């Protein structure tokens, strides 16, 4: 089969097509960003070749010096970025350039608003790499050959920014990838030597291999005679490195500027925004390694996919090993980006070996504490910490269950809405709660509900308002699970105000305790009657110590699952064991007084059932028989109208 016969035209994956459309319409406010993306991809290709060549040295062929080379032709309006890295074969070109294999794509596209400035920030948060070519080019060609393949197995990928691309087999003598951008008329500034050199210094100085451009010719010296002339036709082109070409993390912190740190973050993360914070550290002694860890400003779109690729870039003795080394940080810190470079691991290390290496456990522990310390310092500034918590708070809440050894450190990072701040914004810490605790208070109280309004209006809070006690308002799906693993903080037990019997200990006066005993004894008959008519719906009935304004509430047993967690698991299709609530009555409320005075047993049963349903609704629960509730309520209303 001839090479020409192997040419085919294909359509883009749907999501890729939509993103391509966005690129073409120039949503980036800063077009020059494409240089960083393409050079970064070329650097990754070189890293991958270094790693593969550890076991297959022949992959270097006859060209062991890895580099990136940039050329331009102002007359032809082209810009070429070439590398001699790992390269791609035909199938890989179709896969990598025709699809976007990243979870969260659909949500990303859904969030597009049509506002150019906002959408460009979203694109940066999502990261699109190669597709940034179409910001400045209306026609892109890619020539590539995978290292180790024959020259005849090269591939030519081409797209003019429409819904389709073509791919064909071509002869390519050298390995690696060459991208030819046919520049738009409004992007011809990128076919200028001075402009390109300044951009490479700005965005790619930290790349650890040389980014080369044609060496600029020295100006002619007037009057120099007798020297042999060398014409452009006979001289071999001479290239020179434009960037520093050193692994930035190996340099002393004092020698690295904030701008360099920020640009390196964008290289390793493919994020377009600056990082929120970073930590650069060198460890020597029993273990010898360097780490550079970054805290992003925005959460990636796939953060809540616990199966998505994550982890640090791993280098061993400055040789790239893998992109997503997840063994160095726990899952709840999966948003951290950066690099770890070790001298204590073998160059032929694999994921399997990493899982069994005791040095990894020690490094994981140290790196986790370093991240938590970084977050602890950030948390001291409430204004700086608030945007971080908004982006990553739900993931941090996974920590106590996954990392018992650091439970107390993680707990200090948690933020909540409470009855103290009277705001839906999660800004209060457990440390602040403990500092505000009343004398004699030995528990941290919380209520869990589906949303903020349900939580703040919960009947369970009535006695806490009366006593002036602060309550955490938990409204996120992860909260009740979090509390099940946190259990205590600073020696204070965490107590669900809707679970079990309330015991305020020293906070209840002797007079209050006596009143509670009297109320329970004097209403024994009422409790027995209600228990009888609701026997199939509740596990127990008792006089409440929680309520001041509401007639009744439902309470979860000490050993039962919380109502919010139960609803979440049921929605996820989990089979739940039968569980009935405890029904508490406020004997001082007029409706309960009327219930006690009711002699008609049918009306008594209807009124008791209505009070139970209302108590369930007040907690954000769902009625098993809503039609029956409406019928009973209508019946009672009609009787009142006569």
Q: Which of 119-123, 158-162, 215-219, 571-575 has the highest mean pLDDT?
A: 158-162
Quick check: 402 and 482 in contact, CB under 8 A? no
Quick check: 426 and 433 in contact, CB under 8 A? no
What is the average pLDDT across 286-303? 90
Quick check: 138 and 187 in contact, CB under 8 A? no
What is the average pLDDT across 489-512? 89
| Alpha carbon distance 131, 33 (integer Å) | 11
The model's pLDDT over 153-185, given as tens digits with 9 standing for 90+, comes to 999 999 887 778 899 999 999 999 999 999 999
Query: Domain spanning 510-641 has what CATH number?
Result: 1.20.120.790
| Alpha carbon distance 545, 518 (integer Å) | 12
| Alpha carbon distance 298, 124 (integer Å) | 10
Query: Looking up tokens 């100085």, which residue turns up?
Result: 205
Quick check: 474 and 424 in contact, CB under 8 A? no
pLDDT at residue 177, as a whole number: 96
Element holding 289 (H helix, E strand): strand 289-295
What is the average pLDDT across 465-475? 94
The model's pLDDT over 120-150, given as tens digits with 9 standing for 90+, comes to 555 544 455 787 888 899 899 999 999 999 9
Rg (CA), the chain: 33
Q: Residue 261: how many CA atoms within 13 Å on its side-chain side?
A: 21
* Least confident span in 67-71, 114-118, 200-204, 503-507: 114-118
CA-based end-to-end distance of the chain:
95
| Alpha carbon distance 66, 63 (integer Å) | 8
| Alpha carbon distance 487, 423 (integer Å) | 24
Instruction: List the beta strands (DSSP E) in 96-222.
Output: 137-145, 154-159, 164-170, 176-183, 211-214
What is the average pLDDT across 387-392? 95
| Alpha carbon distance 392, 315 (integer Å) | 27
Q: Which residues contact 328 (CB under 8 A, 6 or more apart)?
A: 311, 312, 314, 340, 360, 363, 364, 367
What is the average pLDDT across 290-295? 96
| Alpha carbon distance 480, 474 (integer Å) | 8
Quick check: 44 and 268 in contact, CB under 8 A? no
Q: Which residues contact 604 (CB under 8 A, 6 or more apart)?
A: 529, 533, 595, 598
SS3 159: strand
* Least confident span in 125-129, 162-166, 339-343, 457-461: 125-129
Is the pLDDT at 311 greater than 50? The verdict is: yes
The DSSP 8-state label assigned to residue 68 in this structure reads E
Percent of the chain residues past pLDDT 90, beyond the cut: 54
What is the average pLDDT across 45-58? 90
SS3 41: helix
Average pLDDT value for the chain: 86
What is the average pLDDT across 196-203? 90
Is the pLDDT at 115 greater than 80? The verdict is: no
Query: Domain spanning 396-506 has what CATH number?
Result: 3.40.50.11260
CATH architecture of 248-381: 2-Layer Sandwich (3.30)
Q: Return the domain boundaries, the chain.
A: 4-216+237-241, 248-381, 396-506, 510-641
The encoded tokens of residue 239 equal 């290239």
Is the pLDDT at 573 greater than 80? The verdict is: no
pLDDT at residue 571, as a whole number: 66
pLDDT at residue 256, as a whole number: 92
CA-to-CA dists, residue 157 to 106, 183, 440, angstroms: 26, 17, 73
pLDDT at residue 300, as a whole number: 81
Query: Domain spanning 4-216+237-241 has what CATH number?
Result: 3.30.565.10
């Amino acid at each position: 089969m001839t090479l020409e016969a192997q040419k085919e035209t294909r359509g883009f994956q749907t999501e890729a097509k939509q993103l391509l459309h966005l690129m073409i319409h120039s949503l980036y406010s800063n077009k020059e960003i494409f240089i960083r993306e393409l050079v970064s991809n070329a650097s990754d290709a070189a890293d991958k070749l270094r790693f593969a060549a550890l076991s297959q040295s022949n992959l270097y062929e006859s060209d062991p010096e890895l580099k990136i080379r940039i050329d331009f032709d102002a007359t032809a309006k082209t810009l070429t970025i070439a590398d001699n890295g790992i390269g791609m074969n035909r199938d890989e070109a179709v896969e990598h350039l025709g699809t976007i294999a990243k979870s969260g794509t659909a949500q990303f596209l859904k969030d597009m608003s049509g506002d150019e400035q906002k959408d460009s920030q979203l694109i940066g948060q999502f990261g699109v790499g190669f597709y940034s070519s179409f910001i400045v080019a209306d026609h892109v060609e890619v020539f590539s050959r995978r290292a180790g393949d024959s020259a005849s197995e090269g591939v030519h990928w081409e797209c003019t920014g429409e819904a389709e691309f073509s791919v064909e087999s071509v002869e390519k003598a050298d390995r690696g990838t060459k991208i030819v951008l046919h520049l738009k008329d409004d992007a011809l500034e990128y076919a200028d030597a001075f402009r390109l050199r300044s951009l490479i210094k700005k965005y790619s100085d930290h790349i650890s291999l040389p980014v080369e451009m044609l060496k600029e010719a020295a100006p002619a010296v007037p009057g120099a005679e007798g020297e042999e002339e060398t014409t452009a036709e006979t001289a071999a082109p001479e290239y020179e490195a434009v960037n520093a070409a050193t692994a930035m993390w190996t340099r002393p912190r004092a020698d690295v500027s904030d701008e360099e740190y920020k640009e390196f973050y964008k290289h390793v993360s493919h994020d377009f925004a600056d990082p929120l914070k970073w930590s650069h550290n060198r460890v020597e002694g029993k273990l010898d390694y360097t780490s550079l860890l970054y805290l992003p400003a925005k959460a990636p779109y796939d953060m809540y996919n616990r199966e998505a690729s994550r982890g640090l870039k791993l280098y061993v003795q400055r040789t790239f090993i893998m992109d997503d080394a997840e063994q160095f940080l726990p899952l709840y810190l999966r948003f951290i980006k950066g690099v770890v470079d070790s001298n204590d691991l073998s160059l032929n290390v694999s994921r399997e070996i990493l899982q069994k290496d005791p040095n990894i456990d020690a490094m994981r522990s140290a790196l986790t504490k370093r991240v938590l310390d970084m977050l602890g310092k950030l948390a001291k500034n409430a204004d700086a910490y608030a945007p971080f918590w908004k982006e990553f708070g739900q993931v941090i809440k996974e920590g106590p269950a996954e990392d018992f050894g650091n439970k107390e450190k993680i707990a200090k990072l948690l933020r909540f809405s409470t009855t103290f701040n009277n705001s839906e914004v999660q800004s209060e810490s457990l440390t602040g709660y403990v500092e505000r605790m009343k004398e004699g208070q030995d528990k941290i109280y919380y209520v869990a509900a589906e949303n903020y309004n349900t939580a703040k209006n919960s009947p369970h809070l009535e006695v806490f308002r009366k006593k002036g006690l602060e309550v955490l308002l938990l409204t996120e799906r992860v909260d009740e699970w979090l509390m099940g693993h946190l259990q205590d903080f600073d020696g204070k037990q965490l107590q669900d105000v809707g679970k079990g019997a309330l015991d305020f200990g020293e906070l209840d006066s002797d007079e209050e305790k006596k009143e509670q005993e009297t109320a329970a004894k004097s209403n024994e008959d009422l409790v027995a009657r209600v228990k009888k008519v609701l026997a199939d719906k509740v596990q127990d009935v008792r006089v409440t110590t929680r309520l001041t304004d509401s007639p009744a509430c439902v309470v979860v047993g000490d050993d039962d699952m919380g109502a919010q967690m139960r609803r979440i698991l049921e929605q996820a299709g989990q089979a739940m064991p039968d569980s009935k609530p405890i029904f508490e009555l406020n004997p001082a409320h007029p409706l309960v007084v009327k219930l006690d005075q009711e002699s008609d047993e049918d009306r008594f049963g209807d009124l008791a059932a209505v009070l139970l349903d209302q108590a369930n609704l007040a907690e954000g629960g769902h009625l098993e028989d809503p039609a029956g509730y409406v019928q009973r309520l209508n019946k009672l209303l009609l009787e009142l109208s006569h």
